[in-house]
Structure 1
Amino acid sequence: MSTPNNRRRDPGGLSSEAVLVWVGIAAVVLVVGGAYAAVHLGHRIDVSGAEVPTDPFAMFFGLLSGDVAWPAAGTGVVVALAVLLIALAVGVVLVARKITGRRTRVDRTAAYLGRGRDVEALTRRHAAATAERLGVKDSPGVPIGVTVSTRRPLFGSWEDMHIDIWGPRTGKTTSRAVPAILDAPGAVLVTSNKRDVVDATRDVRATTGPVWVFDPQAIALEEPAWWWNPLSYVSDEVKAARLAEHFAAGSRDPGARTDAYFDPAGQDLLAGLLLAAALDSRPITDVYTWLTRPTDDTAVDILATHGFRLVADQVAGVINAPEKQRGGVYGTAQQMASCLTNRQVAAWVTPQGPADHRPHFDPAAFVRDGGTLYSLSKEGRGTAGPLVTALTVAVVEAAEELAVHSPGGRLTTPLLAVLDEAANVCRWRELPNLYSHYGSRGIVIMTILQSWSQGADVWGESGMKKLWSAANVKVYGGGVSEAAFLEDLSRIVGDYDRQASSVSYGRGHRTVSQQLHRERILDVADLAAMPKGRALVLASGSRPTLIRTQPWMTGPHAEAVRASIKAHDPQAARTIVDAERELAVDDQAPAPGPGSLGGQR
């Protein structure tokens, strides 16, 4: 496969001889023009009545020969003109420094990347036209950023799927997750392993619908004021198997090797017990209790009574297996469901006694009525990741079910799912297979990762490639040091033809020749050191383009976000100062001091 070439050439630079010529021309214009203005204006001021040639050069040479008299007021005019020119030069330098001061080392490449009609499919006009066609009001699409070359804002339409790869501390939350959440017209689903996205957006989103914060590991210190029963998702053996798969994926370390027999067998056993508990309206914690009692056949009787005889036989086969084999299968399944032993987690997924009046979260009602759901978890021992994944899948599948019964087979108002830190807290194994399908259903998903390998650990190399290829909008925000990924990205961005000049001398003649050298627009080093505040966008049908990121501090909801942070973040003053300081770094401008927050310190 040939390397892409955008066929744009570097205009090159001026030779030293050309520079000297232009300097000479400028000097002549300044000297002759200044003398001409000084003589004419000086004689008018002096009211001398002297005849002065109208030809600038005739006047200048006449002045040198003494044929034209120098007026008394001419010296003052020269001084005034000099002051004016100096002031003008200083102004030009200051403006130039202000403009170039906001430029980064990669901004020069914007001239060789997408601009104008190259990114027409990502413009506000195109996104708004798509939104109007789909009947979506109040929001043209998902904001992406502003092009460096032409300052045009870019949007993903409500049919586009997104994938973002941003390294740590590169601004992915402030520049991608938060703006997308704030501008969403309908229900929003958010996953994260930090509280910042919740604190920044919850009060703003509360004006459009109810806010639900699923926080079983106390990341945002949210009390379990509501609960969700994961078994309400389980209606048959297929959904039981999917729920068991979430537990299996969430319990393994990334890239961990699995046993060819015990892992599938343990996952099948867990699926059977989940189905039994759902059929008998038991709390999900009973599943773990059964796993600690390998000879308890209660689940077998429940499954057989409800007509799931083959699943019952499967569970019975494990119970009646040789002791070592049975112990291995039960031990594997027990490890997959280990998060249920955490009482803090259990409070979010089980009723707290018969008098529990807390509202129960209904994914179907949430999708239908709108609102915002934040699902928080962190990796490591005791992670609630399997439950976060299960809740995410339950909401998305409820949205798909509603879309099937909606006009045109898509949601009337799109659902936005921002899967921040997806590889850590939402290991949805089937996501790559569903990505291209959901866009046509009005289910817009933004998957945010810290690196390519992070996604490959969860979905495998082929699954990660499938996820990347299925996304309509791909954004790379820098901070990644994986040479293979960056090399592929550099090749996709393409080359440009750099024009270079060379001078040779021979037999008393001087020869200037021009050559074209093909070079990468952005090489691996450029991509690895992408400055903060810049990102590379690759979209279907558009050339790669360089954008200036647009953090929430630059958007229309800035004051509302600050108020939300102050209301919920225990370190609000520090959080806002840090955010403003990051914006100042992005813009190459002086950072605000602590006093810029209306007295908060």
Structure 2
Amino acid sequence: MSSPNNNRRRDPGGLSSEAVLGLVAIFGLAVVVAALYAAMHLGHRLAGTGVEVPADPFGVVFGLFGGKYEWPGAAGWWVLGGLVAVVVTLGTLVLVWRARSAKRRTRVDRQAAYMGRGRDIEDLSRKAVTAKAERLGVTAAPGLPIGLTVATRQQLLSSWEDMRITIAGPRTGKTTSMVVPCILDAPGSVLTTSNKRDIVDHTRGPRAERGPVWVFDPQSVANEPPSWWWNPLTYVTDEVKAAKLADHFAAGSRDPGAKADAYFDTAAQDLLAGLLLAAALGGRPITQVFTWITRPTEEEPVEILREHGQRLIADQVAGVITAPEKQRGGVYGSAQQMVSCLTNRQVAQWVNPLGDDDKRPQFSPEEFVKADGGTLYSLSREGRGTAGPLVTALTVAVVEAAEELAARSRGGRLEMPLVGVLDEAANVCRWRDLPNLYSHYGSRGIVLDTVLQSWSQGAEVWGEAGIKKLWSASNVKVYGGGVAEVGFLKELAELIGDYDRLSSSSSTSRGQRTVSTQLHRERILDVDALSALPKGRAVVLASGSRPTLIRTVPWMGGPHDAAVRASLAANDPQAEYTMQQADQELAAVAAAEATR
């Protein structure tokens, strides 16, 4: 919370009317004196009168009106008229500029003066971020873009040690101003998730110039054909990773906020982990797991586990098979719901080979993180029965492969950072361990930005404690407006802080005028202002820096404009409409900036 000493400002209403009139009178007198002085000097020189005008402006003016000095005739009037015309023109231009600027400014821009700027946000400056990048050995790019401060138009960036979280409601410009710029400015490999095709259409062209592009689209979100495949069981190298993969299926199969059954859901998840491990050890496709689940008395997975020395897990699976019929049916039924997405033939094409002569390339997370410049788009629709568990599993497989590579690299970090933009994370990438791992990944050169539409979205997936942990572990927090959750906005308003408003009032009694001042503490941005944050504005909270108000910078009109438009034209079926929208938004931004 801000203290009165370092955040004291005058009343936002400005000076009193008496003070304004006084300043206008002083300024007007100075202009008149200067104009007359200039007219006397230049007029006598042009007229060639030979009169020496002294250097004291007030002496010249008083001498002129007192009859001590003569007016230089027509030459003086021409000079005076020219000066008056110049002053009137400049005054008109200033008034027009102020009127247009005031019209274009948003209602919250004034509050930027009470928020972070200059040294308050020095750690986010290009100079500081570039120094960090050089220290880490990353010379391709200093960091990821955040935006421009409203107060000073200073560019802000996050470093290659900063983990990010972005919370912004629908239609607030997340894709154009936050997601797309981060993907395009990433110097190395990129991993991104989404439930829409727009990110692929915007960035596929520019990213293809840096390395191979992989679009994982088992539900035809972007109508991508299955030209490659990934075997999720390559991730299952032991019982620990089998349990993790089972957890992804369990998390993706439940409705957000639904409570798990204390016995059946836990037992089903343990059974699924055992079957996944058996399929991996036996070299079976992942769809075999669903087949086993539909046959509760099938002993084959137990035999495979015992053949490979996994006796305890074999006993666990066998215990469910030999359980009473109702108990066994409940466990197998719950497990069947968890892997229901495997019944979709379209999904199966992405995670199974198409016969023995399948010539499609197989995706390898380990090879992907080794080859700098590749891009992986993981797409899925939201809801139960979707490919969300597979998107989560693929995301985790890539991140953990990057972590293992970092552990073998100099300094325990990736030489080239891996950027992960988890757009729509709460819908398509329900990674339950993410809050616990967030801060750790920052030290490994794995830079993640979790993008949510609201605080409650995160709470449904990770719980209230989990989303708080994720929020606290993020070095850079961006709020882009469009959220109507009072509890979250109240906490955000408290984090932004207060300012002390110094106002004055005057009163007259018995011919004596008294002026008094009052100090009022007020919120810089209250709940209503945060909820209705104008489009193009965002609040940034970073570790060690004061909260600041920024202007988000869309890709339109930037260095990637031509490349993105070419990518849209090549990939977006509604390219003409999409670019028309981009042009309209760019025109609006340009019109607003032209008046600042």
Shorter chain as denominator, the TM-score bin is over 0.9
Q: Structure 2 counterpart of 1:534, which letter?
A: R
Per-residue CA distance 1:246-293 (angstroms, 9 max, x = gap): 001111111112211111111111111111111111111111111122
Q: State the superposition RMSD in angstroms.
A: 2.4
Matched, 1:103 2:129: no
Aligned residue for 2:570, secondary structure, equals: helix
Aligned to 1:11: 10
Checking the alignment, whether the CA contact within 8 Å between 1:504 and 1:511 is kept in structure 2 is: yes
Aligned residue for 2:443, secondary structure, equals: helix
Offset, 1:56: 5.9
Q: Structure 2 counterpart of 1:15, which letter?
A: S
* Counterparts in 2 of 1:472 and 1:6: CA distance versus 1, 3 Å: farther
**1:47-62 aligned within 5 A:** none
Aligned to 1:548: 551
* Counterparts in 2 of 1:564 and 1:323: CA distance versus 1, 3 Å: same
Checking the alignment, whether the CA contact within 8 Å between 1:227 and 1:349 is kept in structure 2 is: yes
Offset, 1:92: 2.1
Aligned to 1:207: 209
Aligned to 1:291: 293
Checking the alignment, whether the CA contact within 8 Å between 2:228 and 2:362 is kept in structure 1 is: yes
Checking the alignment, whether the CA contact within 8 Å between 2:112 and 2:150 is kept in structure 1 is: yes
Aligned residue for 2:223, secondary structure, equals: coil
Offset, 1:339: 0.6
Q: Mean Cα displacement is larger for which, 573-582 or 414-423?
A: 573-582
* Counterparts in 2 of 1:15 and 1:436: CA distance versus 1, 3 Å: same
Checking the alignment, whether the CA contact within 8 Å between 1:6 and 1:495 is kept in structure 2 is: no
Checking the alignment, whether the CA contact within 8 Å between 1:6 and 1:112 is kept in structure 2 is: no
Q: 1:49, 1:97 → 2: CA distance?
A: 46
Matched, 1:260 2:247: no
Checking the alignment, whether the CA contact within 8 Å between 1:7 and 1:497 is kept in structure 2 is: no
Aligned residue for 1:357, secondary structure, equals: coil
* Counterparts in 2 of 1:26 and 1:442: CA distance versus 1, 3 Å: closer
**1:358-369 aligned within 5 A:** 358-369=360-371
Instruction: Give TM-score scaled by structure 2 length.
Output: 0.93
Per-residue CA distance 1:561-584 (angstroms, 9 max, x = gap): 111111111111221221232234
Q: Mean Cα displacement is larger for which, 470-479 or 24-33?
A: 24-33
Give the counterpart of 2:436 among 412, 427, 433.
Answer: 433
Checking the alignment, whether the CA contact within 8 Å between 1:110 and 1:545 is kept in structure 2 is: yes
Aligned to 1:449: 452
Checking the alignment, whether the CA contact within 8 Å between 1:4 and 1:492 is kept in structure 2 is: no
Q: Mean Cα displacement is larger for which, 134-143 or 30-39?
A: 30-39
Aligned to 1:507: 510
Q: Structure 1 counterpart of 2:403, which letter?
A: E
Aligned residue for 1:14, secondary structure, equals: coil
Q: Mean Cα displacement is larger for which, 8-17 or 570-579?
A: 8-17
* Counterparts in 2 of 1:37 and 1:424: CA distance versus 1, 3 Å: same
Q: Structure 1 counterpart of 2:237, which letter?
A: S
Aligned to 1:598: none
Aligned to 1:150: 152
**1:364-375 aligned within 5 A:** 364-370=366-372, 371-375=374-378
Aligned to 1:305: 307
* Counterparts in 2 of 1:45 and 1:443: CA distance versus 1, 3 Å: closer
Offset, 1:498: 0.7
* Counterparts in 2 of 1:55 and 1:126: CA distance versus 1, 3 Å: closer
Checking the alignment, whether the CA contact within 8 Å between 1:32 and 1:56 is kept in structure 2 is: yes
Checking the alignment, whether the CA contact within 8 Å between 1:415 and 1:444 is kept in structure 2 is: yes
Aligned to 1:132: 134
Q: 1:103, 1:550 → 2: CA distance?
A: 16
Q: 1:548, 1:403 → 2: CA distance?
A: 35
* Counterparts in 2 of 1:586 and 1:324: CA distance versus 1, 3 Å: farther
Offset, 1:509: 1.4
* Counterparts in 2 of 1:360 and 1:75: CA distance versus 1, 3 Å: same
* Counterparts in 2 of 1:136 and 1:503: CA distance versus 1, 3 Å: same
Per-residue CA distance 1:219-270 (angstroms, 9 max, x = gap): 1111100000001111111111111110011111111122111111111111
Offset, 1:80: 3.0
Matched, 1:24 2:30: no
Per-residue CA distance 1:291-316 (angstroms, 9 max, x = gap): 12222222122112222122122212
Matched, 1:534 2:537: yes
Matched, 1:239 2:241: yes
* Counterparts in 2 of 1:147 and 1:6: CA distance versus 1, 3 Å: farther
Aligned to 1:596: none
Per-residue CA distance 1:419-440 (angstroms, 9 max, x = gap): 0110001000000010111111
Q: 1:259, 1:51 → 2: CA distance?
A: 101
* Counterparts in 2 of 1:62 and 1:123: CA distance versus 1, 3 Å: closer
Q: 2:50, 2:400 → 1: CA distance?
A: 93
Give the counterpart of 1:230 among 211, 220, 232.
Answer: 232
Q: Mean Cα displacement is larger for which, 10-19 or 474-483?
A: 10-19
Instruction: Give TM-score scaled by structure 1 length.
Output: 0.93
Q: 1:485, 1:52 → 2: CA distance?
A: 70
Aligned residues: 590
* Counterparts in 2 of 1:4 and 1:283: CA distance versus 1, 3 Å: farther
Q: 2:32, 2:466 → 1: CA distance?
A: 70
Q: 2:504, 2:325 → 1: CA distance?
A: 81
Aligned residue for 1:160, secondary structure, equals: coil
Aligned to 1:92: 94
* Counterparts in 2 of 1:587 and 1:6: CA distance versus 1, 3 Å: farther
Checking the alignment, whether the CA contact within 8 Å between 1:3 and 1:492 is kept in structure 2 is: no
Checking the alignment, whether the CA contact within 8 Å between 2:383 and 2:427 is kept in structure 1 is: no
* Counterparts in 2 of 1:350 and 1:436: CA distance versus 1, 3 Å: same
Q: 1:261, 1:462 → 2: CA distance?
A: 23
Give % identity. Answer: 67
Aligned to 1:121: 123
